[in-house]
Structure 1
Amino acid sequence: MTDSQKHIIGLVFYPGMTALDIVGPQQVFSALPGVELHRIWKTLDPIKTDDGMVLLPDTTFKDCPLLDVICIGGGLEQMAVVDDLEVLEFLRKQGSTAKFITSVCGGSEFLAKADLLQGYRAATHWAMRDHLVKLGVKVGIERVVVDRNRITGGGVTAGIDFGLTIASILCGEEIAKIIQLLIEYNPAPPFDAGSPEKAGTELVDKAMLFMQRISSLELAQQVS
């Protein structure tokens, strides 16, 4: 791969993000030939994710180069960040020149609030579909939605499907298949309950209550 074919990919980190939203795609992207990866936040301080994992950014908003691919994920604590003007302005700035504007899970809310999804279809976590519709976005229920240069993944684990989709677009289907094989991405879940359509109303309601309890507990811990 020549220098002219190098792809610069930026993954936006933030406190309270869901690690797998970004770690999944990063695992795929890190295997791509000629890719330059940036893990981005306002500072280089450690980032604590919503499951307690600690990640280190390596690029600040200020020092970030122009990106070919800009990507942001969701998180149980994204409400504390999703209206941050500095974050939204960074997304708008990069989105004005990036070849691909992308997200995983609840990251689509950031793109919508940065005015980057108007007139596009997008995927998001199933629990956020109605919210995204209220933001004026056409919501798809696919694992990955590709609408021109907007590429968005559904909830959490869909980030791997998303990453492989991006890999295929940037480097070709064969490379994407090789990476899929190398990471042995061959899902065979023990239960067929990975989407609201499959899980049924009763389980969806219980999952929503479970998620609300987690969010309330985290908020109480932050206040204390």
Structure 2
Amino acid sequence: MSTEINIGFLLFPNLTQLDLTAPAQVLSRIPNAKIHLAWKDTNPVKTDVGFSINPTTSFNNCPQLDVLCVPGGFGIGEQMIDSETLGFLRTQSKNAKYITSVCNGSLILGAAGLLKGHKSACHWIWKKYLHKFGAEAVDGRVVRDGKHISGGGVTAGLDFAFNLASELAGEEVAKMLQLGLEYEPQPPYDCGTPIKAGNELVEKVLALQIERIKKIELNIEQASKAI
């Protein structure tokens, strides 16, 4: 008899929906996988692009997860200091086989005290804050440290998902999923990292987000003092 694989994503307001939906699309196709989108209640949750995603379960009703995944986005600030969210992550992490994140979702795991002494990927804008939670920031699309697996910024969630699929169901299944989803990226520009993009483009991107960054920095300081 097949054993169900419970894969759960933290869903929260103003998250970057691709951080969640991209890996969920891949992982949902693993044999016997069941995807759970967990939030405090089951009311629709608005994402950063304006449309909403419906939770499939509340924190209280969520089953024990085999894979706990935290996506990122500009909504991380509130979650890093939310006792209910952090409590859910701590409880689930105790028996989860894998504790994972995409983009700056790793900072929420850090705020929950789940990254102390571990290596982690993170979006390039946010990786410098990981040390505040006792974690080591590592450049990479996917970083593995024991049962901790993390993806870098946003689109790295796809690479992360195929790596995790291989862990859960084997390399052959992961290859079949990659082929089935025709994952063969050919970006129009070679500027997907700060090094490749150059300082001028980096500064322009940072300038667009500076107010949001400053606001979340306050949450980071508060969260780092609480663990």
Coarse TM-score class (shorter-chain normalised): over 0.9
2-structure distance, mates of 1:191, 1:211: 21
1:173 alignment partner in structure 2: 171
Number of residue equivalences: 215
1-structure distance, mates of 2:117, 2:15: 26
Superposition RMSD in Å: 1.6
2:35 alignment partner in structure 1: 37
2-structure distance, mates of 1:17, 1:77: 5
Q: 1:211 to 1:47 in 2, by over 3 A?
A: same
2:220 alignment partner in structure 1: none
2-structure distance, mates of 1:89, 1:191: 41
Q: Deviation per CA, 1:94-151, whole angstroms, max 9, x where unpaired? A: 0011000000001100111111111110001100011112322101110000001000
| Counterpart selection for 2:63 from 55, 65, 70 | 65
2-structure distance, mates of 1:50, 1:117: 25
2:116 alignment partner in structure 1: 118
Q: Secondary structure at the match of 1:111?
A: helix
Equivalent residue letter for 1:75:
G
1:103 aligns with 2:111: no
1:158 alignment partner in structure 2: 156
Q: Secondary structure at the match of 2:107?
A: helix
In 2, are the aligned partners of 1:45 and 1:57 still within 8 Å (CA)? yes
| Counterpart selection for 2:83 from 82, 85, 90 | 85
| Counterpart selection for 2:134 from 136, 139, 147 | 136
In 1, are the aligned partners of 2:104 and 2:127 still within 8 Å (CA)? no
Q: Secondary structure at the match of 1:156?
A: coil
2-structure distance, mates of 1:82, 1:158: 22
Q: Structure 1 unaligned segments of length 5 or more: list them.
A: 220-224
| Counterpart selection for 2:194 from 193, 196, 203 | 196
1-structure distance, mates of 2:47, 2:72: 10
1:222 alignment partner in structure 2: none
Shift of 1:7: 1.1
2:2 alignment partner in structure 1: 3
1-structure distance, mates of 2:185, 2:121: 20
Q: Structure 2 unaligned segments of length 5 or more: list them.
A: 217-227
Equivalent residue letter for 2:159:
D
1-structure distance, mates of 2:51, 2:170: 33
Equivalent residue letter for 1:160:
L
Shift of 1:212: 2.6
2-structure distance, mates of 1:179, 1:212: 38
Q: Secondary structure at the match of 2:19?
A: helix
Equivalent residue letter for 1:94:
Q
Q: What is the TM-score when the length of structure 2 is the normalising length?
A: 0.91
1-structure distance, mates of 2:23, 2:146: 19
Shift of 1:201: 1.4
